[in-house]
Chains A and B, each alone.
Chain A
């Protein structure tokens, strides 16, 4: 019965922000994580306890080509359809503007873009940095019969007084309906910040329902089957390195493998983040060129680790990157109380540890460093997101 009910629940579901259910880790896995954290704390962040298990040493991580087939980038279209379904159900009660809030690696921008394509909505381009610094409204769509979509609200402001005023003007106009109907994608950290700074109404915010262990299993099993179908072969068995049991056991949350339950809980139910961990943990033991029937899921999370004692400037850098959903190098001095050179030096140190990454001059917290950074900011009592 429970399995049937589980299967009846849609895989992709958009819900009001306050109705998102965080997957819970079992007490044993929480205790194990705390023990590892204590070890890191006592050893000032050294790599103690992070040695791979003996059997993992015999395995090798999957090559990129095989990963591209077996765990391709997430297709957010079903999420976009779930958003369209939610908006259709909500009707006028959704208000003129709906904000889709998502954690940094959880695809809110891709989902809003997909929604715009599905519904023929206008995609509003990102504003120029000069306009943000001048305090201009980042977007000012003319009201029309067609809805508009902003995939990344976080690109529409900088944390400085002038720019904040520009964003306030935009959101006031949007939320009162003066700009017509629209959907805004918003990073969960930006949302947390703007809720404090601009007192945004929570009722306007929706999010993807969290992917608990069962949902994650269904998603990963489907992508593995689809990958096998593309090569006209059988899907490989994926076994846990620790137990040797299959990790993609279909069923309800209780019958889900411990590995995927823990992964879902560790990632706070964020599919985009879990996907990064999944790719990083898949291993095989076959020489290159042969497609093995059995793959292994490594026990270790392979996360980027922070140093034992993180200085204040690094903390401010990481917090700033998260609040802005990543930042262009040139804009760092506009939002940080220290020089460009010091900011870059700090970022490069964090980059060497894999905590941040830089893509075409834009810095962001790396997906496999995100949970460590979030824990650090929470411990230091900085503002953190709700997801």
Chain B
């Protein structure tokens, strides 16, 4: 099994950390992992993206043009990466701020209202974990148990008190993700 994922959106949405948690979770699950971020001006605002690869085999290229799954969190990223999803692949997106929705008919499109749900849960910072929950519901390549372990590894100890909130957010994402086409 090899899963090639692009996560893209605004800088500050927790995109790089979401990828990092996936990578740590993959390590917890004895998988090979690679995490390749966009770096530089993106970190200071603008768009950010990260390529995460989870695999049972040694990973060849950490840099890809085609992905199994695209997790899209703003319009620019949808415009940039919609065509990079392999036929039969998956697009997961949050429609917040999206004016032109995904139009591909040869991929499965899923929607998660993460921004709104995070607001309802009164914890906007768990936004990215709602998105991750949505992904895991559709592609259960990582067990929830290992994701929680990944969170523990990836977060500094002083933030470990926030892990239960993050777990709740993961579950919220799993419950609220819906298929569009």
Q: Do A and B come from one complex?
A: no
Interface positions of A (Cβ within 8 A of B): none
